[in-house]
Structure 1
Amino acid sequence: MDSHPFYADVEGVSVIAHGSGQGLRPNNTLEAAQLSNKLGAVIELDLHSSKEGHLIVRHDETVDATTNGEGLIKEKTLAELKQLDAGFRHDPDGNEMYSFRGIGIQIPTLQEVIEGTPRGRYVMEIKQVEPDISSKLCQQLRDNKIEQSTIVASFKDEALETFRRICPEVATSMSSGEARTFIIMQKLGLSHLVPVKAYAMQVPPENSGITVLTDSFLKDAKARGLKVDVWTINDPEYMTQLIDMGVDGIITDYPNRLKELL
């Protein structure tokens, strides 16, 4: 595929802040996104919708893992979500300090993150499939004029198929099914036969005991015009190895570590 404007003027390895930079600030919060934006990182975030249809930045389908509440996001109104403490369970070092509790960190809407991160670049992952949020996401990207600074991802094949049909001007990465097919065919020397609808592939170094990231894999992916981003890498030594291999992006909880290396 031809290059997309998302990648225009990008030099070297992209720093992609996983969970908006969840090692530095609470997962998928405005505070995390703003810090990552200041660092010059691409902001990776995950999307659901509230009961009345606001796009909500959160990883899980429930609020249980990160807040002082419980229940499905799509069954809660925005007002109910805003009452929760999004810093309540933030404990990246495992020391049970919970230093972000009770200081007013809320679950953000997508609009709040966009407005709070000027000139930001984003990887937005569609998590919620039912009800579908593709149309609302496409319209919000267009309304904010960030179609060319966003790449949309999803593990769900059907979510990406719908989004691509509705919003063809926005770049997408491969779904897990598409990536799996490419990886298998690449191991067989047949990656040139795989239909490619995406601009990027986000992969772990290995999966189920199979090494995904090899020199030949990178070569074959790039031959098809695909960018290769690797997740989730927090060790600086391994980051250095990946940079030397020639990956296009590194997805990390700690964008500051990768920025320091670069």
Structure 2
Amino acid sequence: MKSRKMRIVLSVVAGLFVLYVALAWRAQPVPEHPFYTQQDGGVMVIAHQGGEWLRPSNTLVAFDHAVELGVDVLEMDVHQTKDGVIILMHDDTVDRTTDGRGTIKEMSFAEIRELDAGHYWTDDDGATYPYRGQGIQVPTLEEIFQNYPEMRMNIEIKQETPSMVRPFCQLIRDYNMEEKILVATFHQATVEEFRQVCPHVITSMVEPEIQLFFGLNTVFLGALFQAPGTAFQVPRTSSLPIIGTVDVLTERFIRVANSHNIQVHAWTINDPAEMERLIGLGVNGIITDRPDLLLEVTR
């Protein structure tokens, strides 16, 4: 009887081992992509909204400055106006960063173009507003492609409904930017639609996908993860149900992700000491409002 039980246990263990090997074999590394192979070593410096702590966010002024600094990637956020123009702005309303009010998808491009996109910016707690009244406008994504055709861009789709995936993809194709764009979003349906419509443009992964990898990696099964995207763009910590706050950016998380050829980008890191710590852990990129400080750390 004991011998029979032992054979059953061994058979189950052997079956599980074969299943593990088969699943691990199927989990092929993410293919190499020009977006990453353009990187000349070192951590990728990703200017969040062009460097929001340095210039008004998502404006040509900010991106001009970031390019002048020598960043690797321009990060930006996109929405679509009610008349179909794709514009740059972080929020879904114009209230916080301009002198106007309204929801972007309910406004015409002409209305948004009249707004002062430098109105809100201050670096001295409101004592002065150096970019107010300087004629800074909300830019279109097309203007970004025209002004910085050689720059890599991390573009986050903020708008979930109505979908802007198809015109966004078409604009990328029109300007031959497929190899220079990494698309991000927080919306599962949006990223799935984008991957279907625009398969030659790489994406980062959304929260459920990251959580699956995190869970597998926690129980030492990270080798089984099949990556639907090319990058994890994550904060240092995250709150999980029941468990509470956990460290996301650990050495093992980064190492196992990299074994799948998945890039790990930390956001949003503005402290030089934390930048140095994360670089020491092996992150591939850092998204920051202070690209000037990150460039100093990486030199």
TM-score (norm 1): 0.96
Does 2:234 correspond to 1:234?
Answer: no
State how far apart, in whole Å, the 2-side matches of 1:237 and 1:19 are: 22
Query: In 1, are the aligned partners of 2:270 and 2:290 still within 8 Å (CA)?
Result: yes
Q: Retained in 2: the 8 A contact 1:154–1:176?
A: no
Structure-2 separation of matches of 1:9 and 1:56: 27
Per mean C-alpha deviation after superposition, the further-off stretch among 230-239 and 178-187 is 178-187
Structure 1 match to 2:288:
252
Among 68, 71, 80, the alignment partner of 1:38 is: 68
Code of the residue aligned with 1:30 in structure 2: it is: L
Unaligned runs of at least 5 residues, structure 1: none
| Match for residue 197 of structure 1 among 208, 220, 228 | 228
Give the CA deviation at 1:91: 2.2
CA–CA distance in structure 2, aligned partners of residues 247 and 93 of structure 1 = 32
Structure number with higher helix proportion: 2
Following TM superposition, the consecutive aligned residue runs of length 4 or more in structure 1 with deviations greater than 4 angstroms are none
In structure 2, what is the Cα distance between the partners aligned to 1:211 and 1:122?
A: 27
Once residues 81 and 227 of structure 2 are traced to their aligned partners in structure 1, the CA distance between those partners, rounded to angstroms, is 33
Instruction: Note the alpha carbon deviations across 1:14-69, whole angstroms, 9 max, x for none.
Output: 00011121111101111111211222321000010011111010111100111111
Q: Tell me, yes or no, if the aligned pair for 1:82 and 1:107 is still in contact at 8 Å.
A: yes
Q: How does 1:12-161 map to 2 (within 5 A)?
A: 12-41=42-71, 42-161=73-192
Mapped to 1, the partners of 2:149 and 2:125 lie a distance apart of 32
Identity across the alignment (%): 44
From the CA coordinates, give the structure whose radius of gyration is larger.
2
Separation in structure 1 between the aligned mates of residue 162 and residue 236 of structure 2, nearest angstrom: 32
Deviations 1:117-161 (A, max 9, x none): 241110000111111111111111111111101100111111110
Task: Give distance in 2, aligned partners of 1:184 and 1:232.
Answer: 23
Quote the residue 2:196 is aligned against.
165
CA contact (8 A) 2:235 2:268 kept: yes
- Given that 2:182 and 2:203 are in contact with CA atoms closer than 8 Å, whether structure 1 keeps it comes out as yes
- Residue equivalent to 1:3: 32
Structural mapping, 1:211-230, within 5 Å: 211-230=247-266
Structure 2 distance, partners of 1:165, 1:18, is 27
Distance 1:92 1:159 in 2: 34
| Letter aligned with residue 288 of structure 2 | T
Gaps of 5+ in 2: 1-29, 240-244
What's the offset of the Cα at 1:112? 1.1
CA distance in 2 between counterparts of 1:197 and 1:92 reads: 39
2:81–2:105 contact (8 Å) kept in structure 1: yes
RMSD after superposition: 1.2
Shift of the 154–92 alpha-carbon distance from structure 1 to 2, 3 Å rule, reads farther
